[in-house]
Amino acid sequence: MKKWMLMTTAIAATGLVAMSSARAEELNLWVRTSSAGVLEKLVDLYNASHDDKVVVTPITAEQMVPKLGTSIAAGAAPDGAVLDLIYLPTFAATDSLEDMTDFIKGLPYADALSPSHIRLATYEGKVYGVPALPDASIIAYNKDLFTAAGLDPEKAPASLAEIAEDAKKITALGNDTYGLFFVASSGSWLVYDFTPHIWAAGADVLSEDGRTATIDTPAMRATLAAYNDMWTSGSIHPTSRSGVGNDAVAAFASGKVGILMTGSYIVNLLTSQYPDVNFGVAPIPGPEGGASSFAGGDTLALMKGISPEKKAVAESFIDFYMQPEQQVLITAESGMPPRTDLADEAYADFDPRNLIAYDILASARTPYTFASDELFVARTGPWVNLLQTAIFDGDIDGAISAAQEGFTKILERTNPK
């Protein structure tokens, strides 16, 4: 009897160990509120078909970086975060993220992942994040206004010089019609919409490693001169100087703006909310031609020290949302999937204008920097001052000189040693 009881106890204990080892894991991901809706839908689908669960915690965009930094310092970080790709170099350089190199390079579709997202997630040869919800900057143009101004409605401007010329002709229509709208009050919008002009000309504002400022280039001077010319001629909508993104969309949707500097989201937004607007989209051109785009959006990164079990759940979830079915869902919700090899599947049932931004994503760029906010976002930072001073005040030489100096001081202080 005693021997039987000991055997029963041993069997029960073995069962408890087996149950413990098979216990489902829970992965907590922080995500920007602007992306939470899409992530929650993906998570619901994943959780419905897996024992392990993913939990999404929305964090306002402005609070994501400081809150994540504080939680890491306090040893209370989430398992992972879906955050703006431009912050990946900073978190990687501070040894805050889990190395995902082997997993990412082992994916059968690794070569099709948004290149700029992978570049921004790479630090000292290791990859610390995977694309989640990308977007790309483009121009939208009103075909009816193009026709009214004697322009070809099926021919998008192929250079910034053409944008300036077309903008003046559209403004000449009168009746409070303007050729161009861009959001000049926000550093985030300015880097999103303006830097592609520079990249399209084969230049840049930072060196490849993000450590040196390269502001003073012929491409920068030509771009600033074109914008200043449009401003002084009255071809830029006056609200551009102080308006926000919603103002830009409203102005374009009203039929009073010919060309809008915007993002890939605009196709789905206009077709769903402003179906009467007759518009086309195109990549952002350089001063004399070429095309480029700012690769924006989110990257999924894991916090350093995540348990192997939770890391396995994260990898399973990533591979799940990268499958064609979920890429279609991402397309329907946010306009662009993170894989660049699924045009037929992702866009089969959607507006073909989405393909313009999708195609440019493979060659889109993002500034690689460890001081994004100080350089580009701060209202009194060197980037905002550069564009505001050059475009609206016309002091291009002074603006470029001040920006080069301002960038250099910030980079010398913030570059990893």
Q: How confident is the model at residue 16 (pLDDT cuts 50, 70, 90)?
A: very low
Distance (Å, rounded) from C-alpha 176 to C-alpha 91? 46
Spatial contact of 127 and 121, defined as CB atoms under 8 Å apart: yes
Question: pLDDT tens digits for 203-231?
Answer: 999 999 999 999 999 999 999 999 999 99
At 21 the pLDDT is 47
Q: How confident is the model at residue 344 (pLDDT cuts 50, 70, 90)?
A: confident
Asked if the model's pLDDT at residue 13 lies above 70, the reply is no
Q: What's the chain's average pLDDT?
A: 93
Out of 3.40.190.10, 3.40.50.1820, 3.40.50.2300, 3.40.640.10, which CATH number does the structure's domain 136-293+369-414 have? 3.40.190.10
Distance (Å, rounded) from C-alpha 276 to C-alpha 210? 43
Q: So where are the chain's domains?
A: 25-134+295-361, 136-293+369-414
At 199 the pLDDT is 98
Question: pLDDT tens digits for 257-275?
Answer: 999 999 999 998 999 999 9
Percent of the chain with pLDDT over 90: 86
Amino acid residing at 67: K
Sign of the C-alpha dihedral, residues 193, 195, 200, 201?
positive
The average pLDDT across 26-52 equals 96
Question: Strand 130-142 and strand 126-127: pairing?
Answer: unpaired
Distance (Å, rounded) from C-alpha 184 to C-alpha 244? 8
Spatial contact of 289 and 222, defined as CB atoms under 8 Å apart: no
Distance (Å, rounded) from C-alpha 118 to C-alpha 352? 26
Q: How confident is the model at residue 350 (pLDDT cuts 50, 70, 90)?
A: confident
pTM for the structure as a whole: 0.91
Return the CATH architecture of domain 25-134+295-361: 3-Layer(aba) Sandwich (3.40)
Alpha helices in 201-307 (DSSP H): 218-232, 245-253, 266-273
Asked if the model's pLDDT at residue 134 lies above 50, the reply is yes
Q: In 3D, which of 165, 170, 177 has the Cα closest to residue 147? A: 170
Q: In 3D, which of 253, 64, 13, 417 has the Cα closest to residue 72? A: 64
| Least-confidence region, from 73-77, 170-174, 352-356 | 352-356
CB within 8 Å of 150: residues ≥ 6 apart: 169
Asked if the model's pLDDT at residue 102 lies above 80, the reply is yes
Distance (Å, rounded) from C-alpha 296 to C-alpha 293? 9
Same CATH fold assignment for domains 25-134+295-361 and 136-293+369-414: yes
**Of 3-12, 110-119, 242-251, which has the strongest mean pLDDT?**
110-119
